[in-house]
Amino acid sequence: MKRIQFPLVYVLLLALLIACNNHNKSSNSEDLTTNLTLTKIKESKGLKQLYVNDEPFLIIGAELLNSSASSIEHMKDIWARTKSLNVNTVFLPITWQQFEPEEDTFNYSLIDSHIQSAHDNNLKLVILWFGSWKNGESNYTPDWVKTDMQRFPRMLFKDGKISTTISNINKNCLNADLKAYKKLMERIVQVDKQGTVLMMQIENEVGLLGGTRDFSPEANELFEQQVPSELITYITNNLNKLKPNIYEPYVNNGSKSQGTWEAIFGKSPNTDEIYMAWHYAKYVNELAKAGKAIYNLPTFVNAWDASGGNLIPGVWPSGGPNYLMIDIWQAGAPDIDILANDNYSPTFGLSAKNFVHNNNPLLIPEACAIWMNDTISAAPKAFFSFGHFKAMGFSPFGIDHQTYHSNHSIKKAYEVLHNLSPLITQAQVEDKINGFMEGDDASPTSFQLGDFIFKPNYDIQKDSLIKGYGLIIQISEDEFIVSGNACHVRHESADSSNPNSQLLSVEEGKFVGGKWVKKRTLNGDEFGIKLPPNPYNIASDVYLDNISILKIKLFKY
């Protein structure tokens, strides 16, 4: 047979086309080793939950200090220590400043190492993209962005002073951030063959600190233009679902179908923040949409929550996805799956409640203010979040700080939550769970599960630093799992035809392979729904990490 000789140039062109085709395929999420590892958000009976390998997944999480993940060497000891606290998911940042130190030059060393190290330690990752904004400023932008203020303009305050925050309306800012974020997503697809990365947080606590809005000439011009019809349509279609600070100014100003920002919402700091929220949301949504086209992971943005009282936007980052602006963000950023609650509030429950709005699931990526010497509240807040608010995930901030030592109460709390996780996720969907926490006004004083009413009580003797908390899960008509610490629970019948209730049995134990394994049967001096299940009310019997699991059976007559 005569062999056909192709010119060398054709052979080279063919090889190049094959290589390009293979490269394009490698950037497709379908090429993961197993598609089952892709994270999804599924909704069942009105509740959104995270799914991994087609199973509901509870994020029992921990966020690192801001600078820890900036060094592979620094992280070496942190991985195992974090894992030892029974964490299943680590929240860590990848910063634009380190990822693209020079324009169009990308450093993949950190993302590659962190994904591999997390996998080696059997941990999942949530990647925090510190791009254009972090905590209301732009300190994580590369130097070539910071120093070129003509190409990447800053926002201006009302007095004309220049902020440290880059513009949320300038296309150069958006396109530069967008390019870097897309490169990050492409790299994750290439190296994350086990599906270690669960979710992407885009930016961090965005908004403008120190002013209600951007007063640059470009921003002023936009502020005087018509409110986008897209936002007006969303508001009119969701009018009865809106937060009061969106609903009231819109209706009080005539429910107009068109007009400037002040014509639609009135002249106020609230209107300034609505304007800012819209432009932040549109900017961030561009990144979310482009990233999902590369690798369709769930995305969220987190909020520096708005303060109460008579404070105005700018005290908190104006325009961020705080609870006052949730409606604007849901309108402007449909590719963002969750508006997340960074919750350092002294009224923890109220802050969490404010984010459970219009089908927005509760995710708490940051909680417990180390700088206020608050870490022992992590365990109560985790139980309360999962039980009462049916949270998708909970994460104290700064888990690698020395205050989270090897005997910290979060370790035992997370061990128990791991044990109960399958029950919790099922009960959340079936509305057969509730949680409670001492000292929080949003915590229920009583609640009903099935035909029984439960009343948490915290009057047992204990150290004043120890706060009672727990959750209760209904597992059958008359059986319940109770877990927590430093409290006891009274019970009543909710059945008017059988108005009395009696405790029949109490067992202490845990679940092994999905089956209840009894450690001991409790009766006599230990009989009751008491955590910990010690016989007498002695303060020295209650420790921070004394977290038990009880299986109880009730009878009504």
DSSP string for 334-345:
TT--EEEEEB--
Domain ranges of the chain: 39-71+88-402, 447-556
**pLDDT band at residue 38 under the 50/70/90 scheme:** confident
The topology (CATH level 3) of 447-556 is Chondroitinase Ac; Chain A, domain 3 (2.60.220)
Q: Which residues contact 552 (CB under 8 A, 6 or more apart)?
A: 479, 480, 481, 482, 503, 505, 506, 507, 529
CATH topology identical between 39-71+88-402 and 447-556: no
| Residues forming beta bridges with residue 363, ordered by sequence position | 393
Q: Which residue do the tokens 């592979």 mark?
A: 72
Give Cα separations from 488 to 160, 450, 542 (angstroms).
Answer: 58, 19, 12
d(CA 115, CA 350): 35
**pLDDT band at residue 310 under the 50/70/90 scheme:** confident
338-351: average pLDDT = 97
d(CA 84, CA 53): 24
306-327: average pLDDT = 92
Structure tokens at 282: 């549109």
Could you tell me the strand order of the sheet in which 124-134 lies? 338-342, 299-304, 197-204, 124-134, 89-95, 59-63, 393-394, 363-364
Percent of the chain's residues with pLDDT above 90? 91
d(CA 285, CA 301): 10
d(CA 307, CA 471): 29
Q: Which residues contact 21 (CB under 8 A, 6 or more apart)?
A: none
d(CA 101, CA 15): 33
Residue 455 sits at φ, ψ, to 5 deg, of: -130, 100
Give SS3 for 236: helix
pLDDT given at position 32: 46
- Whether pTM exceeds 0.85: yes
pLDDT given at position 412: 97
Residues 300, 340 contacting (CB under 8 angstroms) = yes
Structure tokens at 472: 């209760």
pLDDT given at position 4: 43
Superfamily for domain range 39-71+88-402? Glycosidases (3.20.20.80)
Q: Which residues contact 396 (CB under 8 A, 6 or more apart)?
A: 62, 63, 366, 367, 368, 375, 378, 381, 404, 410
pLDDT digits (tens, 9 = 90+) for 99-155: 999 999 999 999 999 999 999 999 999 999 999 999 999 999 999 999 999 999 999
430-439: average pLDDT = 98
pLDDT given at position 37: 66
Residue 260 DSSP class: B
- Count the residues in the chain: 557
d(CA 492, CA 554): 10
